């Protein structure tokens, strides 16, 4: 990866403490193998909100993956599809959702929604996701502002400001109206020309739909980036916004980024169908609680029935097993699939998934669990106090 790509993908908020806490939390839970159980065949398939999953694992939405490889979202979709794994498309994706949907080749996918300050844009994105065949919406609520990310800041890098990760917007009819209006308003403005400005303009024009030469002559690519930066997210997002989704979509809705049990209960109360416990892979608030610790309190708060997914810190099949034992119905995998993408494109994505699922399968065999629903609290134990990790 380039330095910019690595900073964005591998980087986290502040001093990286939340990322570390996410991993350390897994060290505090240990799997209890069982013997002579006679379990020979394991079934890893499961269902979440009407979506059939071949294993309790989905690819998480990751924005600006085009930093890692051109055609990123299409390659991720092909890798996911080859592994029979569902993929949550990023709202900050690098290809229009319709193209990524085609690359899924029939394997289920969900769509992530960032709530724009422009409500017609919210509706347009939802309608496109429904029309493209998404089986659920995942509203990310922990990124109404982008966190403090020193790795990116040190390089002066914000992918979106160069037009990386705004393909869902530049392919959107409502967004195009807004960006075009802005281009008309600003094309007469004088702009100071510097080498940096030219390089940014070139980057934006390359990524904007259409021919590079036309884009360079047009005020639209720059206006699109500026419009995106203005409206992509709504810092005053509230429970009322969320509650309005019931009338705005036929799809099941999950809310991603929940860490407090009261927020989890509230989400269920306003009619949300599922919760994704996540601290955004430690990218938002430094020194936040580990997502795995939040999973325990959230599951306790909502009881056994509501759908609770887990994200932030999964790196192995053993981690998957622990999260399922602590109450997750399925898990989302973020950075690791980007590393597979970097190393070997679609095939790298497929291999990352298959290695992880293979380990989960073996651990089920070695703990005597025949089906995903059978993985429970009895299969894990808190590490003794003071034990070395």
User: In terms of CB distance, is 143 or 218 closer to ligand GLV?
Assistant: 143
Quick note: the x/- pattern for ligand GLV over 213-242, rule CB under 6 A, is ------------------------------
DSSP strand pairing (380-382 vs 330-333): unpaired
Q: In the bound complex, which residue of the shown chain has the CB atom lying closest to ligand GLV?
A: 283
Instruction: Determine which helix (DSSP H) or strand (DSSP E) holds 309, and give its type and residue range.
Output: strand 307-311
DSSP state of 284: S
Among 283, 299, 350, 379, binds ligand GLV (CB under 6 A): 283
User: In terms of CB distance, is 230 or 262 closer to ligand GLV?
Assistant: 230
Cβ atoms of 39 and 371 closer than 8 Å: no
Closest separation between CB of residue 74 and ligand GLV, Å? 20
What number of other Cβ atoms are within 10 A of residue 2's Cβ? 11
Cβ atoms of 22 and 291 closer than 8 Å: yes
CA dist 104 to 75, 79, 264, 311, Å? Answer: 10, 9, 31, 22
Catalytic residue among 21, 208, 280, 337: 280
Task: Show Cβ contacts of residue 251 under 8 Å, excluding neighbours closer than 6 positions.
Answer: 126, 129, 130, 134, 135, 136, 137
User: In terms of CB distance, is 85 or 92 closer to ligand GLV?
Assistant: 92
Distance separating the N- and C-terminal Cα atoms of the chain: 31
**83-142: which residues touch ligand GLV (CB under 6 A)?**
92
Q: Does 313 bind ligand GLV (CB under 6 A)?
A: no
Q: Does 4 bind ligand GLV (CB under 6 A)?
A: no
Cβ atoms of 298 and 323 closer than 8 Å: no
Among 143, 170, 218, 278, binds ligand GLV (CB under 6 A): 143
User: In terms of CB distance, is 13 or 264 closer to ligand GLV?
Assistant: 13
Site of tokens 């795995």: 292
- Whether 337 is catalytic is no
Q: Is 46 helix (H, G, I), strand (E, B) or coil?
A: strand
User: In terms of CB distance, is 159 or 221 closer to ligand GLV?
Assistant: 159
**51-90: which residues touch ligand GLV (CB under 6 A)?**
63
Catalytic residues, by residue number, are 280
Contact residues for ligand GLV (CB under 6 A)? 63, 92, 143, 280, 283
């Amino acid at each position: 990866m380039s330095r910019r790509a690595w900073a964005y993908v591998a980087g986290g908020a502040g001093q990286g403490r939340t990322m570390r806490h996410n991993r350390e939390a897994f060290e505090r839970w240990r799997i209890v193998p069982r013997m002579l159980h006679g379990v020979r065949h394991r079934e890893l398939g499961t269902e979440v909100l009407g979506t059939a999953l071949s294993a309790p694992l989905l690819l998480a939405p990751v924005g600006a993956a085009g930093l890692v490889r051109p055609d990123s979202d299409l390659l991720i979709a092909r890798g996911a599809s080859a592994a029979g794994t569902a993929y949550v498309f990023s709202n900050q994706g690098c290809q229009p959702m319709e193209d990524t949907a085609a690359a899924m080749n029939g394997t289920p996918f969900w769509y992530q929604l960032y709530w724009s300050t422009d409500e017609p844009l919210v509706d347009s994105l939802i309608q496109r996701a429904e029309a493209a065949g998404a089986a659920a919406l995942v509203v990310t609520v922990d990124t109404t502002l982008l966190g403090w990310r020193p790795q990116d800041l040190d390089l002066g890098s914000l992918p979106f400001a160069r037009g990386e990760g705004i393909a869902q917007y530049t392919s959107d009819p409502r967004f195009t109206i807004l960006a075009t209006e802005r281009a008309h308003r600003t094309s007469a403005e004088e702009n100071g020309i510097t080498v940096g400005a030219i390089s940014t303009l070139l980057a934006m024009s390359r990524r904007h739909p259409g021919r590079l030469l036309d884009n360079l002559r047009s005020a639209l690519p720059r206006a699109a980036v500026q419009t995106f930066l203005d409206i992509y997210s709504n810092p005053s997002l509230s429970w009322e916004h969320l509650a309005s989704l019931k009338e705005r979509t036929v799809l099941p809705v999950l809310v991603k980024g929940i860490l407090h049990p009261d927020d989890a209960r509230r989400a269920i109360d306003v009619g949300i169908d599922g919760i994704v416990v996540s601290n955004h892979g430690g990218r938002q608030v430094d020194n936040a609680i580990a997502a795995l610790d939040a999973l325990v309190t959230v599951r306790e708060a909502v009881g056994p029935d509501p759908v609770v997914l887990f994200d932030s810190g999964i790196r192995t099949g053993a981690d998957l097993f622990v999260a399922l034992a602590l109450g997750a119905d399925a898990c989302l995998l973020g950075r690791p699939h980007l590393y597979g993408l970097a190393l070997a494109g679609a095939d790298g994505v497929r291999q990352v998934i298959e290695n992880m699922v293979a380990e989960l399968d073996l651990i089920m065999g070695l703990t005597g669990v025949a089906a995903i629903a059978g993985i429970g609290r009895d299969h894990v134990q808190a590490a003794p106090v003071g034990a070395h990790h």
